[in-house]
């Protein structure tokens, strides 16, 4: 009989986060320094102190290979971790493929995605530093939900700037944040100078993560009681997510599964992809494994496949630090695709560096195709995926169908980083034939890239 689900006990939870910065130099990969948004000089801890507690700043620059997970964080992780690993046997049969497909399911968390893996430690370290209030941005609402949950757990006030198109498209994610006590406002908003400037140019702006970041950062730096919290992109965020990849490796070893030939994750800012893939990338770099690692992004926000690897601001108003990353330009305003969590102009510096070095692959895919793949998957496996991981599902399906053509029995593993229960409006639009495919115009990319900082 084929095992279809692997569940670890709490005793098997990772005790440390894995930091890929420790292993990049041996692969000839260097992470360029992060720069101050005004001086364009390398930032120091004092520059980041208005935004983050010192513990997170030190994790951001750490080159230690493993960083211990605090007991208080582990206790809250136990509400949903370890998460299950599934063998998609029914989907394999439906696709008539000899490939073996596994997926890690992060939708069992209270917020329904992988995001609490970093929200909990970020809230914890801010609480330890005496911070009483956090601001953040959110696209699809998954990160905002996760931070709202984490702030509630530690008794911290939470303010979320939610990209307006998602605020309108996904009202129940907004309700979930409010259930956990957060204040949620659509971005751009009249509550900040950054928001007012955008609204003056375009009163009907659909918003972007870059704009929402500007608003959250502005509020954090202008209030003594408030810090800023980020759900993706930065090193410490990807670090916290590595509990995911570490668990997968232990689960596959437990059942004697073949080492993955292909490792797949969706990518927008980089958090779920980095947390899932970096432990496998370490095996490639350090132990000579040969897994293909694929990052899948939307054609409407193709930062790796169509952006440039250059220094850029992390936000639209040029208040956030400047990092070298794959970027479409901080002025990028994405099309209103339903994968709201992937609508960011840039890519995590760590993901960008390994992509630039050729250590991972990147693919860009259209919106309707990812919903078609999601329908194929959910009709076989029963789990309704969010639009974001449906990008990974499409790539996994394509790899499995290629195995059908070649007769190869490859092992494919992907991260199903969140459920789609709050995305039923998106599925309804797909089922009624109202979804459009968007491809970001080349001329718009050129206009946006013309405004990169001169570094």
Q: What is the pLDDT of residues 385-412, one digit of tens each?
A: 999 999 999 999 999 999 999 999 999 9
Which residue's entry shows tokens 């992004």?
297
DSSP state, 113? B
Q: What is the mean pLDDT of residues 76-89?
A: 98
Q: Domain map of the chain by residue range? A: 5-12+70-112+236-449
What global pTM score does this model have?
0.94
pLDDT at residue 248 greater than cutoff 80: yes
What distances in angstroms separate CA 359 from CA 52, 290, 302, 309, 398, one per listed residue?
A: 30, 10, 18, 15, 21
What per-residue confidence (pLDDT) applies to 341? 67
Per CATH, which fold does 5-12+70-112+236-449 belong to? Rossmann fold (3.40.50)
pLDDT at residue 1 greater than cutoff 60: no
Q: What is the pLDDT of residues 197-225, one digit of tens each?
A: 999 999 999 888 888 989 999 999 999 99
CA distance 170 to 150: 20
What per-residue confidence (pLDDT) applies to 437? 85
Work out the burial of residue 321: count CB atoms within 10 Å of its CB; fewer than 13 is exposed, 13-18 middle, 19 or more buried. Answer: buried
Work out the burial of residue 48: count CB atoms within 10 Å of its CB; fewer than 13 is exposed, 13-18 middle, 19 or more buried. Answer: buried
């Amino acid at each position: 009989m084929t095992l279809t689900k692997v569940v670890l006990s709490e005793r098997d939870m990772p005790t440390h986060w894995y930091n890929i910065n420790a292993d990049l130099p041996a692969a000839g990969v260097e992470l360029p320094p992060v720069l101050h948004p005004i001086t364009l000089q390398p930032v120091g801890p004092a520059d980041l102190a208005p935004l983050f507690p010192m513990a997170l700043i030190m994790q951001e620059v750490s080159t230690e290979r493993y960083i211990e997970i605090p007991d208080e964080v582990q206790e809250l992780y136990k509400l949903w971790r370890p998460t299950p690993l599934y063998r998609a046997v029914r989907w394999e049969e439906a696709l008539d493929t000899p490939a073996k497909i596994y997926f890690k399911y992060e939708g069992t968390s209270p917020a329904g995605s992988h995001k609490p893996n970093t929200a909990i430690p970020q809230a914890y370290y801010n609480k330890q530093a005496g911070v009483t209030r956090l601001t953040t941005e959110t696209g699809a609402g998954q990160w905002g939900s996760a931070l709202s949950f984490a702030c509630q757990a530690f008794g911290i006030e939470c303010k979320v700037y939610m990209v307006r198109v998602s605020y309108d498209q996904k009202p129940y994610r907004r309700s979930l944040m409010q259930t956990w006590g957060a204040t949620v406002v659509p971005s751009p908003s009249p509550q900040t100078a950054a928001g007012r400037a955008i609204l003056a140019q375009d009163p009907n702006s659909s918003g972007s993560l870059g704009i929402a970041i500007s608003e959250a950062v502005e509020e954090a730096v202008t209030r003594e009681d408030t810090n800023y919290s980020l759900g993706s992109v930065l090193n410490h965020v990807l670090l916290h997510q590595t509990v995911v990849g570490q668990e997968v490796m232990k689960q596959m070893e437990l059942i004697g599964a073949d080492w993955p030939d292909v490792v797949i994750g969706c990518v927008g800012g980089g958090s779920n992809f980095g947390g899932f893939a970096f432990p496998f990338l370490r095996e490639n770099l350090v132990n000579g494994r040969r897994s293909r690692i694929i990052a899948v992004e939307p054609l409407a926000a193709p930062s790796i496949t169509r952006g440039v690897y250059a220094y850029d601001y992390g936000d639209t108003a040029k208040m956030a630090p400047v990092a070298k990353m794959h970027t479409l330009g901080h002025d990028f305003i994405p099309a209103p695709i339903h994968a709201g969590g992937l609508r960011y102009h840039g890519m995590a510096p760590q993901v960008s560096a390994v992509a630039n070095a050729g250590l991972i692959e990147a693919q860009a895919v259209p919106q309707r195709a990812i919903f078609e793949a999601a329908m194929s998957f959910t009709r076989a496996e029963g789990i309704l995926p969010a639009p974001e991981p449906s990008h990974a599902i499409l790539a996994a399906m394509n790899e499995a169908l290629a195995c059908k053509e070649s007769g190869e029995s490859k092992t494919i593993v992907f991260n199903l980083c969140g459920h789609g229960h709050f995305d039923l409006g998106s599925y309804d639009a797909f089922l009624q034939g109202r979804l459009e495919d968007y491809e970001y115009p080349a001329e718009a990319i050129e206009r946006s890239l013309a405004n990169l900082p001169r570094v």
